[in-house]
Amino acid sequence: MRGPDTTPFIKGVLVTGTDAPVGELLVRALLNDPNIGHVLAVGVRRPEEALPISHATRLTYLQVNLTRERQVHDLLFGPARDLGVEVVVHTAMARSAMAEGGGVHALNVDATRALLQLCERHPTIKRFVLKSYAEVYAVQHDLPVLIAEDHPLNLHPNAPQYVRDRVEADLHACVRMGLSPLQIVVLRCAESLAPGTGSQLFDYLESPVCLRPAGYDPMINVASLRDIVRALECAVRAPQQGVFNVPGFDTLPLALAIRKWGRLGLALPSSWLTPLYRWRRRLRGHDFRYGMNRRRFHYSGVLDGRRARDVLGYLPERPVDWPAP
């Protein structure tokens, strides 16, 4: 099944989180790559409900609860070993900012830790790719606008679990680099403006009227799902391990993003926004938490993707599908 080009053949890739759009699109992209032998997709849905993809010969879908270490062990040392999986791409993480508690932490952090530990002693797995998030970075008035990989992380004591878990999982993967026999690649991805991705900004833009702090219009960077998936594809074949920022194509002020999404932006005093959005959350069941986004709604923060460009060959190419011109 080796392709005509010189791209190295990868016998098998295991993808977690295939119930979410990123995981599903990644599976589709990997199946389109003739230099990938088999894709082992993992999700929480039952097989008959998951991944409507007709590549049965090269795709195996398994329902696995990643918070159960025994299930993870049996996945890796069962089907993954039998298929000769060489790369694990871990994208599974709780997507709602409202999801809190031990069960959420078990998926976000403990599952990442367990996967890494098991992969380290696995006979065929050589590379571990973690899809991390730009939300791990701190955004403040006294920090650089362009966020490089050595930018301070958001370790604010009042940060919600959504952020704390992402930072912890990211850091855990980072500290294993060099200590682990695996090649570990951490991709800190820009927020993708798409449903089902857990994007706070997407949920924010769901309102016909988007409130923002008066007097501030920070620069933000957002990515299309296609670009995030392409970055993950690049990471599957990464020439070296490391942490890489994955910026999106669109860098623009928040007010312009609101306008291009076809919404009406309304600037109000910042202190009004937390209670107003709390009420919105309670009344309408939305996921957006203003308190969690307060700083980046005041101060600019744009991912610097030079490392990903130079090492992985990733450059954002596809803009977000903005509804308004």
Q: Applying CB under 8 A, which residues contact another protein?
A: 141-146, 148, 151, 213-219, 249-253, 255-256, 259, 264, 298-300, 302, 304, 319
Q: Which is nearer to another protein, 1 or 264 (CB)?
A: 264
CB of 256 to another protein, least distance (A): 6
For residues 188, 190, 195, 199, the Cα torsion angle rounded to the nearest 10 degrees is 80
**Which CB sits closer to another protein, 5 or 142?**
142
Residue with tokens 């871990």: 90
What is the per-residue DSSP string for 272-320?
A: HHHHHHHHHHHHH-----HHHHTGGGTS--EE--HHIIIII--------
b/e burial code for range 264-275 (CB count within 10 A of at least 16 → b): ebeeeebeebee
Q: Which amino acid is at 4?
A: P
Min dist. Cβ of residue 293 to another protein (A): 17
| Least distance CB 205 / another protein (angstroms) | 15
The residue (of 1 and 214) whose beta carbon lies closer to another protein is 214
User: Tokens 């999986």, residue?
Assistant: 85
| C-beta closer to another protein: residue 203 or 250 | 250
Q: Nearer to another protein by C-beta: 166 or 212?
A: 212
Structure tokens at 96: 């709602």
Whole-angstrom Cα distance, residue 159 to residue 47? 36
Cβ nearer to another protein, comparing 191 with 250: 250
Contact assessment for residue 85 and residue 41, using Cβ atoms and an 8 Å cutoff: no
CB-CB contact of 187 with 131 (8 Å): yes
Token representation of residue 181:
């026999």
